[in-house]
């Protein structure tokens, strides 16, 4: 007589059943996210809830209780606030004021971020620097920077992001539980197709987890360190008021300035003409000493070269012959 052996279910059907349930619930969550326009982090949060249901079918009430504890939102003891401020201060010495601002931020436990220095058309220096200081020292550092010179502009802003911090921390915990659940399913899977499907789901959920961790780190940095943007500019020199009625000394100073200006222009003109004059003088000297003596001379006229003839005699004046010296008419 044959004895019947108890029928045992193999692991592959169970893994396939859990995989199908997880993917079905994940697909429902993904469709709802697409219709509602949620982010990738929301889709990642829906997937872990499907895994928790699948794990609850497998583990029973104990697994459901552990999943509920994993997705419980964290409790914060205080509020999370992002504080930013912008200051425009006018100082006499920009580099010195910048050094003091740097030292003040470092003494408070912060650091110096971006820094930009420019000069305007009149040569005045302008500097823009971003300071990151702990929230506990924010008010103190801000007051010290305001008193470093003449305050021209001030603006401060506080943004409460407590809800965002709580939401991100909750999603990070849920996503980590989801990744751990997928890893457990991969350890129990025996078919190659199940392993490939679970690996694709694992890579997607790990990417969502990394995005949530990056957002969590950004919120932590912005809430733990306040941002102060400080703009420093040099104080313009006060111009003396001009006298409407100039005196003798003013006229003398103006004339002397005009005279010196004229001498400078004459010297400039002389300096510009002097090379040309030197070249012209050299050419003239060359013509007189070298070129001209070698040129053929012109022949003299014929009358000028012969022997001079007798001088013409003077003609007597009419009536002068009848007159005698000392005679009478």
Q: Which helix (H) or strand (E) holds 169?
A: helix 162-188
Q: Are 110 and 132 in contact (CB under 8 A)?
A: yes
The candidate with the shortest Cα–Cα distance to 174, out of 59, 305, 72, is 72
Cα torsion angle, 192, 22, 36, 223, sign: negative
Q: Are 220 and 121 in contact (CB under 8 A)?
A: no
Q: Is the pLDDT of residue 163 over 70?
A: yes
Rounded to two decimals, what is the model's pTM? 0.48
267: Cα within 13 Å, side-chain hemisphere: 6
- 91-104: per-residue pLDDT in tens? 988 989 999 999 99
Q: Which helix (H) or strand (E) holds 101?
A: helix 94-107
Q: Are 12 and 191 in contact (CB under 8 A)?
A: yes
Mean pLDDT of 325-329: 49
Q: Is the pLDDT of residue 169 over 70?
A: yes
More confident residue, 205 or 26: 205
DSSP 328: -
More confident residue, 229 or 319: 229
More confident residue, 289 or 88: 88
How does residue 323 score in pLDDT terms, banded at 50, 70 and 90? low
Residues of the chain above pLDDT 70, percent? 63
User: For the ranges 7-21, 89-103, 154-168, 207-221, which has the lowest average pLDDT?
Assistant: 7-21
- 220-249: per-residue pLDDT in tens? 999 999 999 999 998 764 443 444 566 778
More confident residue, 326 or 121: 121
What pLDDT sits at residue 46?
42
Q: Is the pLDDT of residue 192 over 60?
A: yes
> What distance in Å separates the CA atoms of residue 71 and residue 291, rounded to the nearest whole number?
113
Mean pLDDT of 135-159: 91
How does residue 214 score in pLDDT terms, banded at 50, 70 and 90? very high
More confident residue, 126 or 299: 126
Beta-carbon contacts of residue 302 (< 8 Å; ≥ 6 apart): none
More confident residue, 33 or 287: 287
């Amino acid at each position: 007589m044959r004895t019947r052996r108890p029928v045992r279910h193999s692991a592959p059907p169970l893994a396939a059943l859990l995989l199908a349930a997880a993917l079905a619930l994940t697909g429902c969550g993904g469709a709802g996210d697409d219709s509602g326009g949620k982010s990738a982090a929301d889709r990642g949060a829906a997937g872990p809830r499907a895994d928790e249901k699948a794990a609850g079918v497998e583990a029973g009430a104990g697994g459901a209780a552990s999943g509920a504890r994993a997705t419980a939102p964290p409790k914060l003891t205080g509020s999370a606030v992002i504080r930013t401020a912008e200051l425009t201060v006018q100082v006499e010495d920009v580099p010195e004021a910048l050094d003091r601002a740097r030292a003040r931020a470092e003494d408070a436990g912060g650091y110096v971020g971006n820094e930009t220095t420019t000069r305007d058309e009149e040569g005045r220096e302008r500097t823009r620097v971003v300071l990151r200081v702990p929230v506990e020292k924010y008010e103190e550092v801000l007051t010290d920077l305001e008193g470093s010179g003449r305050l021209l502009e001030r603006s401060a802003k506080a943004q409460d992001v407590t809800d965002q911090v709580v939401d991100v921390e909750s999603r990070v915990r849920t996503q980590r539980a989801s990744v751990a659940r997928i890893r457990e399913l991969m350890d129990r899977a025996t078919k190659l197709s199940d392993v490939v499907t679970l690996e694709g789901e694992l890579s997607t959920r790990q990417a969502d987890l990394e995005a949530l961790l990056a957002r969590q780190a950004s919120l932590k940095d912005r809430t733990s360190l306040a941002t102060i943007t400080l703009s420093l500019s040099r104080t313009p020199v006060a111009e003396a008021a001009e006298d409407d009625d100039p005196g003798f000394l003013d006229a003398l100073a103006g004339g002397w300035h005009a005279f010196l200006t004229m001498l400078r222009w004459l010297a400039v003109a002389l300096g510009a003409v002097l090379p040309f004059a030197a070249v012209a003088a050299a050419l003239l000297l060359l013509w007189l000493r070298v070129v001209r003596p070698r040129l053929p001379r012109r022949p003299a006229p014929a009358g000028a070269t012969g022997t001079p003839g007798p001088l013409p005699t003077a003609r007597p004046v009419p009536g002068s012959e009848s007159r005698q010296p000392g005679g009478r008419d």
